[in-house]
Amino acid sequence: MLHARLYSMNAIFTLFGTSIAIASILTGLAFLGQKPPAIKPARNEAIAISATPSLPAPSVAPTQSIGVELGFVGDIMLDRGVLQSVEKNFNGDFRHLFDNLAFLKDYDILFGNLEGPVSLSGQNVGSKWSFRMKPVVTEVLAEAGFDILSLANNHMGDWASEAMLDTLDYLKMTDVMFTGAGANLAAVKKPTIIKKNGLRIGFLAFSDVGPAWLAAKENTPGILIIRDNYKDIIKNAAENVDVLVVSMHWGEEYKTRSNTREQTLGHGAIEAGAKIVIGHHPHVIQEIERYRGGLIAYSLGNFIFDQYFSEETMRGKLLELKLAKNPFTQKADITETKEKLIKLNKFFQPAEIIETKNYIESVKETAKSAIPNVVTTPCPAGNSDQDFLLFNINPKNGIGNFIPKDLVPIAETNCLRREAARAFALMQNTGKDENLSFSITSGFRDETWQKTLYENWSKANAAATFLAVAKPTHSEHQLGTALDLTTGAIGNLAGSDLFATTKEYEWLTANAYKYGFVLSYPAGKELITGYKFEPWHWRYVGLEMAKKIKETAGTLLETL
């Protein structure tokens, strides 16, 4: 009788599929008063039904894979100022650089860019900026949690091929894997593969900034340099792994937005089969883009470096990604992304780790507490007709109690000189036509307002005030031609470095000069301007001067 019932149910199985058949079988057994058999599928295996030998073994949808958690950081350089700091402050023990980073060991795979060779040999063929790290560095990086490092960068040849080859040997001794450098061209074109939780994850690394002489050849060691066939290399590598990660050493130093070359290469890498593209070399954080199912982090900035001259170079981004196989397609996808901001202290030690969301909130609170609640409209009566459009105001050169007489209201609570206000309105309207939205958070500020702002900042962060806020009578805002901008893309934060990651900033960088505006404090010019990079701060200088500054890629102070 039991077999008759089961054979009858087999017809249902044939008509309606696996799930109905299983339900029918269990129902039939329950009807007979028998306990259904326990079914415990092995992980990643199909469930087999053994109620009767006459039934085929149906399959069910596979379970979600465990997944792999990856961590990516930026440039790592443990020579020069970092070495001096370790010897002076940490008794020569590099391990103390990682005192606040125990969590790095939690990642299944941790990746970074090693900016220079590890060796005691070789000859300096680079420049005064050449790096060569002590052999103990590889052991320290292994203990910190690093699983694989990119070696394809412009500093790997600083101490000639001998030092580069030493680097490979020292990494092998500590079981830290590497990519981007090897004994010959065939070796560097082959992806380094890490198998984890059922996934084969491959790593390739290219340099787009040389050195050209270090390019690996058929019988010559070196690094993998980007050539016209880079897509073919990526395509071949992708065919042998579930996920391909491509590291790119590219871009322009201290630029907070990717350039056209980076975007072309990054998109090409994804189109050729890469799932993740990780950029290095600019030494500052650049934007992250999702493209055709992949992810491109154009620059993660500095992880450990000694570039103390700006806030932007004293921090980097930690990108966390989780990979898992789609249970139906069995193809690996990025299922989760997180970002952390890592700030270096004066010892070049990663000391502050902030979730990006929390960082934005903290910036909002700082802005609220630092900016005085002053409404400037209607605009104050001026005391001078002098045209200080190109006045050379700077930390050493003040302007006294100057208030221009031609201030006009703009953006409800701000004022600008009439000529600057008209130019800004034209620039803003043109931006709107191109689906861009930027607005003023601060325009004219008199001596009293600047004094309040300066004192508030000094109380909140005295060390940062010198490079971030002008003293009373020394601010460009007092000229009535300077303005601070923001956009809704960053929650309309005032005075935020995040403005540099927006499409509005990118557009302004290319077009603001057409309306007479220039970026007053660009990245890499801190020693000239006296202030840190401020992507939000623009000054009207007139069409002729703005064009001249744009053509020379300089600053107003250099041009006057």
pLDDT at residue 461 tops 80: no
Residue ranges with strand state E in 286-433: 288-291, 294-297, 302-304, 315-325, 332-344, 350-355, 407-410, 414-417
Both 256 and 134 in one domain: the answer is yes
**Beta strand pairing call for 177-179 and 181-182:** unpaired
Residue 61 has pLDDT above 50, yes or no: no
Task: Please write the tens of the pLDDT for every residue from 202-219.
Answer: 999 999 999 999 999 999
Tokens of 95: 């391990």
| For the ranges 299-308, 451-460, 482-491, the one whose mean pLDDT is highest | 299-308
Bridge partners, residue 92, by sequence:
none
Say yes or no: 153 and 302 in one domain: yes
The token pair that represents 61 in the structure block: 């949808």
Instruction: Look at the chain and report how many structural domains it folds into.
Output: 3
What value does the mean pLDDT take over residues 28-47? Answer: 34
Range 88-112 average pLDDT: 97
Q: Looking at the predicted structure, is the pLDDT value of residue 261 above 60?
A: yes
pLDDT at residue 253, as a whole number: 93
pLDDT confidence bin for 412, thresholds 50/70/90: low
User: Do residues 542 and 450 both lie within one domain?
Assistant: yes
Alpha-carbon torsion angle 476, 477, 480, 486, nearest 10: 120
For residue 222, name the pLDDT band (cuts at 50, 70, 90): very high
On whether both 93 and 218 belong to a single domain, the answer is yes
Contact 116, 157 (CB under 8 A): no
Share of the chain above pLDDT 70, in %: 82
Given a cut of 50, whether residue 60 has pLDDT beyond it is no
Residue 289 and residue 278 in contact, taking contact as beta carbons nearer than 8 Å? no
More confidently predicted of 368 and 169:
169
Q: Are residues 55 and 73 in the same domain?
A: no
CA dist 98 and 107 (Å) reads 15
- Average of per-residue pLDDT across 158-168: 97
Domain limits at 398?
A: 371-559
Position of tokens 């790119």? 248
- The model's pLDDT over 362-403, given as tens digits with 9 standing for 90+, comes to 444 444 444 444 433 478 888 998 888 999 998 888 999 999
CA distance 285 to 258: 10
Predicted confidence at residue 6, as pLDDT, reads 33
CATH number of the domain residue 457 falls in: 3.30.1380.10
Contact 67, 322 (CB under 8 A): yes
Quick one: how far is CA 120 from the chain centroid? 32
The HSE-up count of residue 305 (CA atoms within 13 Å, CB side) is: 30
- Residue 453: the pLDDT is 79
Q: Which residue has the tokens 């039934």?
A: 55
The pLDDT of 161-173, averaged and rounded, is: 97
In the numeric block, which tokens belong to residue 202? 């491959």
Measured in whole angstroms, how far is the alpha carbon of residue 37 from the centre of its chain? 53
Residues 343 and 252 in one domain: yes
Residue 46 has pLDDT above 90, yes or no: no
Most confident of 101-105, 357-361, 432-436: 101-105
Q: Which amino acid is at 348?
A: F
Q: How confident is the model at residue 65 (pLDDT cuts 50, 70, 90)?
A: low
256 and 358 together in one domain = yes
What is the per-residue pLDDT for 357? 55
Specify the DSSP class assigned to residue 189: H
How far apart, in whole angstroms, are the C-alpha atoms of residue 398 and residue 421? 23
Rounded average pLDDT over 68-94:
97
Cα distance between residue 90 and residue 98, in whole Å: 11
Higher pLDDT, 521 or 45: 521
Residues 389 and 301 in one domain: no
Mean pLDDT, the chain, as a whole number?
84
Average pLDDT over residues 107-118: 98
Q: Are residues 180 and 120 in the same domain?
A: yes
- pLDDT of 470 reads 86
- 381 and 281 in a single domain? The answer is no
- 3-state helix vs strand vs coil in the chain, percent to 5: 35, 25, 40
Cα–Cα distance measured from residue 521 to residue 539, given in angstroms and rounded to the nearest whole number: 10
Give residue-wise pLDDT tens across range 4-19: 333 333 333 333 343 4
Among candidates 115, 210, 213, 226, which has minimal Cα distance to 160?
A: 213
CA distances from 486 to 132, 436, 497 (A): 42, 11, 10
Cis peptide before 62 (omega within 30 of 0): no
User: Is there a contact between 424 and 472 (Cβ–Cβ < 8 Å)?
Assistant: no
Region label for 261, one of left (φ > 0), alpha (ψ between -120 and 50) or beta (otherwise): alpha
The dihedral sign for the CA sequence 384, 388, 391, 394? positive
Which of 214, 204, 212 is CA-nearest to residue 178? 204
Q: Do residue 420 and residue 482 come from a single domain?
A: yes
- The pairing of strands 302-304 and 315-325 is unpaired
Instruction: List the single range of 63-77, 262-276, 541-555 with lowest mean pLDDT.
Output: 63-77
> In the predicted model, what is the mean pLDDT of residues 324-351?
89
| Encoded tokens for 286 | 């650049």
Domain end marker among 15, 38, 63: 63
pLDDT in tens, 278-318: 999 999 999 999 888 899 999 999 999 999 888 889 999 99
At residue 25's C-alpha, the angle toward residues 21 and 27, to 5°, is 115
pLDDT at 462: 55
Mean pLDDT across 115-130: 92
Q: Are 176 and 147 in contact (CB under 8 A)?
A: yes
Confidence of residue 63 (pLDDT cuts 50, 70, 90): very low
Q: What percent of the chain has pLDDT over 90?
A: 63
pLDDT at 361 over 70: no
The 10 Å CB-count burial string (b at 16+, else e) for 479-507 is bbbbbbbbbebbeebbbbbbbbbbbbbbb
- Name residue, tokens 């050195």: 211
Same domain, 391 and 310: no
Q: Give the pLDDT of residue 481.
A: 96
Pairing, β 407-410 against β 414-417: antiparallel
pLDDT at 34 over 50: no
What pLDDT is attached to residue 4? 37
The last residue of one of the domains, among 322, 337, 364, is: 364
DSSP, collapsed to helix, strand or coil, labels residue 219 as coil
Residue 223 has pLDDT above 90, yes or no: yes
Question: What are 387's strand-pairing partners?
Answer: none
pLDDT winner (highest mean) among 19-28, 386-395, 511-520? 511-520
Lowest mean pLDDT among 95-109, 242-256, 365-379: 365-379
Distance in angstroms (rounded) separating the CA atoms of residues 326 and 349: 39
Residue 461: closest CA among 523, 532, 521, 527:
532
